[in-house]
Amino acid sequence: MFAKAVARVESLVKGTLFDCRMCGQCVLSQTGLVCPMTCPKGLRNGPCGGTLHGECEVHPDRPCVWVKIHHRTVGDQSLERPNLLPSCDASLQNTSSYLNLLSGADKVGRTPLEYLDLGNRRTTQPIQTQSKLEQRLKSGDFVKTCELRAPRGASMEKLIEQASHVQGHFDAVNATAYLNARPSLSSAVVAAKLAEMGIEAVCQSTCRDHTKTSFIAELLSNQLNGVNNTLCLTGDAYHGVPRIKQVFDMDGAIMLYEARHLREKGTIYFTGERVANAPRMFLGAAINPFTEPSNVPIRRLKQKADAGADFIQTQLIFDMQAFDQRFMSLVRQEGLHEELFILAGVPVVTSKKALEIMPRIPGAWVPEEALRRLAAASDCQAEGVQLARELVEQARQIPGIAGVHLMLFGPDHSVLPDVIESLESTSVQQPTTHFRADKSAEPTTL
Ligand code: SF4
C-alpha cells in the first residue's frame, strides 16, 4: 500500500518534470535528466540508425531522445566511449525507483556492464570464428557483400533464383527480413538456405522482434545451420495502423554483448547458463554515419565495438566525400578502423518506383543531386548501376574502409555483379585458413 502510494507520487512529480515512464530503475542522473524510456523504442544505450538531423525516426516532429542525452551529458565534441547499461529489469516497471534505490532492488538495472576484454587492434588478431567473411576481411582484400530479401510467402523459389545471380561474386550475402516489421520468412531460415547453397550467409537479427530468449535461440540455430555471421540491428519502426507491440528489451549494443559473451565465455550472460557447442558468431552491427552531431555515431561505434562487434555496415551512402569528411576522418583519428572492419553501404537504385521511396528510408541522407541525376536518366537501371560503380570506386579510395555492402533498390538482382565488376580481380576465394577451437592456437594455412 505504502509502496504504491510512493510510486503514484513519484509518477506524478517525475512525470510532470521529466516525462518519466516509471521503469523503476531511474538513470536520469546518468542521462542528463532526459528519460531514455521516452525514446519510442525504449533504447537504453544510444540512438538507433533512424535519426537524422537530430530528429526521431518514429516521431519526426520531435528531437531524438538519444541525441539530446549526448548533448546534455558530454556536449557535441566529446568522443568518449559511453557506458553500457543493461536491459531494464521488467519486474520493476511501475514501482518507485526511490524505494528501489533504498532497498537496492534497482542496482543491477542502473549499474553499467563491464565491457569484455577483447584486446586491441582486433582487426589484426588471429581468426576467431568459422566465418569465411572474417577470413576474407582479415586477408586484407577489399570485400564486397550484398543482400537478399526474405520471401513474404512460404516459398524459396524466387530467392534461389536471385541467389544464383550473386553466388560466386560476393564474399557474403545478408538475409534481410521483416522489412518495416512486416512478416516474411525469418532471416535465420533464409540464411540457412543460402549456407546450404554454399553461400557465406549473414543472419540479421533485430531487437525490435526478439526477446533475449529468442535471440539466443536464433544464434543456436545459426550455429547448427552453418551460418557463422550475425548482424545485430535495432530494426526500423512499424508505421502501420494499428500499432503493433515491439520488443526492444535490448538495444543493438546489448545484443552484441549477449552474443559476444556467448562466444568468449560459452555462457549466456542473462541466465548464466553454460551452452554446449556455444555459437561463435562473427558479429556485425550497423551505424548511421550521418547522425548529427558527428560525435554521436562515433561514440555509438566505440560502444558497439567494445560490446563485441567485429564489423560494421553503414547506412546507405550517396556522398562518399561527405562520409569521409564527417565520419571516417574521426574513425581514423580514434583508431576505430583497427578495432573493427567497416563496410560502406552503397545504394543500387534501379527503378523510378524505388527512387520515389528513397527520401522516406529511415535515417538515409539522400542528397538532392543524386535524386535529380537518377530521376533525369532515361534508363534508370543503367544510371543506378553507374552511380553505384562510382560510389564503390570512391569507397575503395577511403583509408580505413574494408569493403562495400550493396543494397539493391529495384527488382533485378542480376545487376549486382556489374556494380563490382572492377573489383572482380579480388575474386571471392575459398577459405585459406582453418579455425581451431583452441583460441590460443594460430590459424593454419592450407
Ligand atoms: S530516433 Fe531512434 S533512438 Fe532517437 S528517439 Fe527516435 S526511436 Fe529513439
Whether residue 215 is found in the same domain as residue 304: yes
Whether residue 239 is found in the same domain as residue 160: yes
How many A from CA of 46 to the centre of ligand 1? 8
Within-domain flag for 233: yes
Is ligand 1 within 6 A of the CB of residue 51? yes
Pocket residue to mutate for ligand 1, from 37, 61, 65, most atoms within 8 A of Cβ: 65
Is ligand 1 within 6 A of the CB of residue 65? yes
Which has the closest alpha carbon to 340: 148, 143, 205? 143
Task: Say if residue 242 is preceded by a cis peptide, omega within 30 of 0.
Answer: yes
Which residue has the CA at smallest separation from atom 2 of ligand 1?
48
Is ligand 1 within 6 A of the CB of residue 41? yes
Using the 3D structure, point to which of 77, 110, 143 is the last residue of a domain. 110
Above 50 in pLDDT, residue 433? Answer: no
Is ligand 1 within 6 A of the CB of residue 58? yes
Amino acid at site 425: S
Whether residue 11 is found in the same domain as residue 160: no
Whether residue 87 is found in the same domain as residue 227: no
Is ligand 1 within 6 A of the CB of residue 43? yes
* Contact in structure between 238 and 181 (CB atoms under 8 Å): yes
Within-domain flag for 337: yes
For the stretch 266-316, pLDDT in tens is 999 999 999 999 999 999 999 999 999 999 999 999 999 999 999 999 999
Whether residue 263 is found in the same domain as residue 132: yes
Return the ligand 1 atom nearest residue 47 CA: 3
Above 80 in pLDDT, residue 425? Answer: no
Using the 3D structure, point to which of 110, 130, 155 is the last residue of a domain. 110
Whether residue 137 is found in the same domain as residue 57: no
Above 50 in pLDDT, residue 440? Answer: no
Whether residue 148 is found in the same domain as residue 223: yes
Rg for the chain (alpha carbons), in Å? 22
* Contact in structure between 328 and 400 (CB atoms under 8 Å): yes
How many A from CA of 57 to the centre of ligand 1? 6
Is ligand 1 within 6 A of the CB of residue 48? yes
How many A from CA of 67 to the centre of ligand 1? 8
How many A from CA of 423 to the centre of ligand 1? 37
pLDDT at residue 427, as a whole number:
56
Which has the closest alpha carbon to 303: 264, 252, 233? 252
Within-domain flag for 116: no
For the stretch 56-71, pLDDT in tens is 999 999 999 999 999 9
Is ligand 1 within 6 A of the CB of residue 40? yes
For the stretch 369-403, pLDDT in tens is 999 999 999 999 999 999 999 999 999 999 999 99
CATH of the domain at 177: 3.20.20.220
Cell numbers placing 92: 520493476
Rounded to whole angstroms, how far apart are CA atoms 136 and 138?
5
Is ligand 1 within 6 A of the CB of residue 57? yes
Which residue has the CA at smallest separation from atom 4 of ligand 1?
64
Is ligand 1 within 6 A of the CB of residue 69? no
User: For residue 144, what is the enclosing H or E element?
Assistant: strand 143-149
Using the 3D structure, point to which of 110, 140, 156 is the last residue of a domain. 110
Cell numbers placing 434: 582453418
Return the ligand 1 atom nearest residue 55 CA: 1
Pocket residue to mutate for ligand 1, from 48, 251, 361, most atoms within 8 A of Cβ: 48
Predicted TM-score (pTM) of this structure: 0.93
Whether residue 260 is found in the same domain as residue 341: yes
Is ligand 1 within 6 A of the CB of residue 248? no
pLDDT at residue 446, as a whole number:
27
Whether residue 128 is found in the same domain as residue 51: no
Within-domain flag for 89: yes
Is ligand 1 within 6 A of the CB of residue 64? yes
Total domains, the chain: 2
For the stretch 317-357, pLDDT in tens is 999 999 999 999 999 999 999 999 999 999 999 999 999 99
How many A from CA of 55 to the centre of ligand 1? 8
How many A from CA of 392 to the centre of ligand 1? 30
Which residue has the CA at smallest separation from atom 8 of ligand 1?
39
| Full domain range(s) for residue 312 | 122-445
Whether residue 90 is found in the same domain as residue 191: no
When pLDDT is averaged across residues 30-39 and rounded to a whole number, the result is: 96
Within-domain flag for 117: no
Considering Cα of 56, then 82, then 305, then 113, what sign does the dihedral take? negative
Whether residue 100 is found in the same domain as residue 241: no
Which has the closest alpha carbon to 5: 95, 106, 100? 95
Lowest mean pLDDT among 163-172, 206-215, 424-433: 424-433
Whether residue 190 is found in the same domain as residue 83: no
Question: Can you tell me whether residue 149 is helix, strand or coil?
Answer: strand
Pocket residue to mutate for ligand 1, from 21, 31, 51, 246, most atoms within 8 A of Cβ: 51
Return the ligand 1 atom nearest residue 363 CA: 1
The CA-atom distances, in angstroms, between 421 and each of 6, 170, 411, 428 are: 66, 11, 20, 12
Rounded to whole angstroms, how far apart are CA atoms 374 and 359?
13
Percent of the chain with pLDDT over 90: 90
When pLDDT is averaged across residues 111-124 and rounded to a whole number, the result is: 96
